[in-house]
């Protein structure tokens, strides 16, 4: 069966007029106000108290914005088939879907010719690009990357660079590697914007500039960065960017690959099926190009709208978000470093600029036990483990001289208050000095849990 390729673009009904009502996402707010997150319920402690949930696990998933919840409620009242329906609600839904694509492009500073391909997650978007690389494309990636950026590439064509000690060392190692690839196919450099383990910012301008000088292309993993700092894809000069909605205060299930069209248009469709195909006969298939080529099947319209709503809110209130998070980051770092027995992990040095993410260990305590005790005794949500960045965590633990093979990660954001940070610091100091107040057991497959837990898990089904 032969194949043909025809360029298509997203279709917005010519008569569609998109407006924002008084409660619509992206509405103007006072610059002093932060975008509100959906209010979390109180949580029970072992001593019987109910407390405000201290949300310090933003690096894993961010709570939804209130404007996102309103957008989801609004679009579920009207959504219908996208692009292939002639009914009025299909036309409305198609307009919403393409407007969401435009909002995401605006949010990341995409170039006019860049594609925005909606995916499920950052991992999904990165794997999409991995499947579109021309044959024999070498990939250069640091061992410090999240597994979503480290693992999708053909092992025989991948050049893994060791975890660097400094930005200068990272740039130097990359330059040496690219110089050695000068006579081969065009390389792809994969780099994160902010470490998902330590929150530290990578030297993106230097890395992208170096790649450009060596004729390489660049994929930016912006999953951990975009909720906290803006990205201008066009100004930076990177070729692609990947992101996830669930790290941007939108629900799970929506992400995007944003960037150049040429490799994507030349590759087989990511999902062969309706939407990606323009015409099918007994002898040939004509595939679409553009975003539609890799969005086969009925798209996640609600997810795309939720993602766009989050992007709009963050874009309009960047100043307030950054000021709020800068104060949290400073207090979190300073407070944890002052606790005897606590070791904070750093990639580039303790004073390196970062988003509000801090990984640490407590001498003599398993990190998973620390996380369990913070939850059960203080109502604090953190993460423990290796955070899908095993090579990096192993290296950082070794550098810090920490015992054990995992760490605790506290990550702040829009749902974090100053009281949450103070509660964490007080609780960590207590744990470092005297250990958990309660008795805990390590249960296979479940981790640490209170040996006696009077709480009843109330998880009423939402339907």
Residues classed as catalytic = 388
Tokens of 427: 């609780």
Q: Are 383 and 409 in contact (CB under 8 A)?
A: yes
Task: Give the ranges where 133-248 is alpha helix by DSSP (H).
Answer: 147-150, 167-180, 204-213, 233-236
| DSSP code per residue over 397-432 | HHHHT-SSS-EEEEE--TT--HHHHHHHHHHHHHHH
Sign, CA dihedral 62-218-190-292, equals positive
Tokens of 21: 């009502």
Tokens of 216: 């390489």
Helix (H) or strand (E) run with residue 96 in it = helix 88-107
For residue 280, what is the DSSP state?
E
Tokens of 66: 């209130």
Sign, CA dihedral 143-149-153-159, equals negative
For residue 152, what is the DSSP state?
S
């Amino acid at each position: 069966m032969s194949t043909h390729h025809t360029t298509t673009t997203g279709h917005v009904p010519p008569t569609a007029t998109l407006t924002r009502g008084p409660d619509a996402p992206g509405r103007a707010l006072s610059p002093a106000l932060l975008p509100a997150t959906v209010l979390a319920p109180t949580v029970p402690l072992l001593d019987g108290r109910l407390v405000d949930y201290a949300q310090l696990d933003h690096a894993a998933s961010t709570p939804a914005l209130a404007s996102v919840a309103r957008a989801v409620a609004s679009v579920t009242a009207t959504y219908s088939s996208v692009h292939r329906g002639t009914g009025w609600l299909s036309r409305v839904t198609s307009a919403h879907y393409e407007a969401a694509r435009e909002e995401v492009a605006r949010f990341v500073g995409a170039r006019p010719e860049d594609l925005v391909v909606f995916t499920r997650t950052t991992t999904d978007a990165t794997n999409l690009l991995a499947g579109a690389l021309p044959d024999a494309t070498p990939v250069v990636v640091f061992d410090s990357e999240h597994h979503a950026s480290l693992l999708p590439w053909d092992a025989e064509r991948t050049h893994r660079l060791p975890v660097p000690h400094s930005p200068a060392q990272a740039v130097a190692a990359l330059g040496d590697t690219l110089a050695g690839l000068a006579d081969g196919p065009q390389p792809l450099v994969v780099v994160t914007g902010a470490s998902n383990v330590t929150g530290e910012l990578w030297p993106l301008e230097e890395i992208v500039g170096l790649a450009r000088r060596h004729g390489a292309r660049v994929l930016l993993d912006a999953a951990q960065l975009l909720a906290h700092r803006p990205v201008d894809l066009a100004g930076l000069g990177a070729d692609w960017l990947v992101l996830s909605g669930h790290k941007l205060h939108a629900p799970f299930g929506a992400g995007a690959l944003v960037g150049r069209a040429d490799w994507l248009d030349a590759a087989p469709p990511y999902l062969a099926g309706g939407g990606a195909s323009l015409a099918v006969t007994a002898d040939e298939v004509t595939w679409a190009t553009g975003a539609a080529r890799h969005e086969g099947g009925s798209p996640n319209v609600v997810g795309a709208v939720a993602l766009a709503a989050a992007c709009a809110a963050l874009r309009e209130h960047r100043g307030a978000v950054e000021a709020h998070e800068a104060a949290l980051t400073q207090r979190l770092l300073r407070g944890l470093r002052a606790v005897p027995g606590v070791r904070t992990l750093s990639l580039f040095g303790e004073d390196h600029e970062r988003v509000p993410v801090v990984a640490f260990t407590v001498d003599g305590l398993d990190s998973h036990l620390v996380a369990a005790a913070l939850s059960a005794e203080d109502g604090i949500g953190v993460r423990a483990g290796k955070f899908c960045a095993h090579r990096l965590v192993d290296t950082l633990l070794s550098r810090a001289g920490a015992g054990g093979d995992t760490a605790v990660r506290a990550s702040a954001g829009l749902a974090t208050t100053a009281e949450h940070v103070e509660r964490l610091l007080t609780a960590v100091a207590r744990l470092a000095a005297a250990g958990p107040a309660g008795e805990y057991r390590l249960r296979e497959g479940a981790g640490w849990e209170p040996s006696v837990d009077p709480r009843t898990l109330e998880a009423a089904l939402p339907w």
